[in-house]
Amino acid sequence: MNKKFGGIQKLCNFAPKTQTHDLMRYLLLALSILSTLAVARTRNATMSHSNAFVSADSAEIAENRQQGDMLLLYQRNTGGWPKNIDMEKPLDDDEREQVLADKTKEDDSTIDNNATTWQMQLLAKVYQKTGDQRYKDGFNRGLNFLLEGQYPSGGWPQVWPKGKGYQKSITYNDDAMVNVLVLLRGVSMSIGLFGGDLVDDEMRSRCDSAYQKGIECVLETQIIVNGKPTIWSQQYDNETLLPTFARSYELPAFCPRESARIVQVLMEMNNPDDRVKAAVHGAVEWMESHKIEGYRYIKASKDRTRHAELVPDPEAEPIWARYYDLQTEKPFVCDRDGIPHANLEDIGQERRDGYLWYDMRPKRLLKQYNNWKAKYEPDVK
């Protein structure tokens, strides 16, 4: 007998038999009451915590539904979305009516400025949180929009089905086509939010085929100089696959910023073949040889009292120009007149201060490249 109950045992031993039975009955009743009270306290505490979680989950789900409903509201009948709109902003009745009327537009569904791919990621998240079929259907409409917009060459324009001018060109600018490739790869491989029953097997297969076709376009549009692969331009003619103009100050050129993201996509491929490896090595080698050292890029202040400039700084980290001439491979900047210049001071303040002319994105790529090379090309120096 446990020492804790020793006194009870002694009392039972020395008490008369009838008293012993009564005493035992009372003791068992007391223990039962205490046990019931303990269970009740535990259950109440558990229910209290459970209710707190349910309340938090319900609030989160309600927020997710509100977000998802706004995304569906703005989704065009094409399956895509317009850009540069705050889709979380509450709408009054007149604004909501206008958004509904705009759903039939066919000239503003775009992948520029993260449009469409961003909304699709959010819809996937909301569906995984809620299981609401409407968000799944909206995501699949977006997928069909992306698949229908792919050119036979494998590239994507900025805007379709009714784009104008440079909007019809294959677009790497601002990572437009790259965002599509990343999303399609995620869907085809059921990565993260794109897993589960979000799409069926047939759609995953279609996404994989479109992704592979897109990668082929990427390799075909890499600029070759003296037989060596280098980097990419921002936009390409869909028919000739040659670099082409976008806006008046966005000339055909070597473009390290967009190219760095393209190379990252190539490095994410499983078991890359020799052609992909050569593309990665060539691009990185070009970026290494065209980095700008000894200067720091200072952006314009928000009030434009200080203009963008390059400042000599021997301690500055390497930077890259947004554009390098296709013939000389030297950096340039450009105004809206389409005339390239060597120095920021040679263009007007509006474009000088209102565009990102230099940045450090390739520097991050170079670190990732070393890890990739150690995995797939350990013998390459």
Q: Which domain holds residue 99?
A: 59-215
In a domain, 54, yes or no: no
As for how many domains the chain has, the answer is 3
Regarding whether 83 and 67 lie in a shared domain, the answer is yes
What pLDDT score does 305 carry? 87
In the set 65, 114, 144, 247, the catalytic residue is 247
pLDDT of residue 367: 84
CB-count exposure of residue 375 (10 Å: 0-12, 13-18, 19+): exposed
Considering the domain architecture, whether residues 199 and 68 belong to the same structural domain is answered as yes
**Residue-by-residue DSSP string for 170-217:** EE-GGGHHHHHHHHHHHHHTT-GGG-TTSS-HHHHHHHHHHHHHHHHH
pTM, to two decimals:
0.83
Same-domain status, 81 and 32: no
Ordered mean pLDDT values, 10 residues apiece, the chain (381 residues): 37 38 46 45 37 53 92 98 96 97 98 98 96 97 98 98 97 98 98 97 98 98 98 98 97 98 97 96 97 96 91 97 98 97 96 96 92 89 68
Nearest to 199 by CA among 124, 266, 125, 256: 124
- Look at residue 74 in the predicted model and tell me its pLDDT: 98
* Residue where a domain stops, chosen among 165, 189, 215: 215
Whether residue 373 is contained in a domain is answered as: yes
What whole-number distance in Å separates Cα of residue 69 and Cα of residue 178?
Answer: 27
Residue 47 burial (CB count, 10 A) = 11
Decide if 247 is catalytic. Answer: yes
113 is catalytic: yes
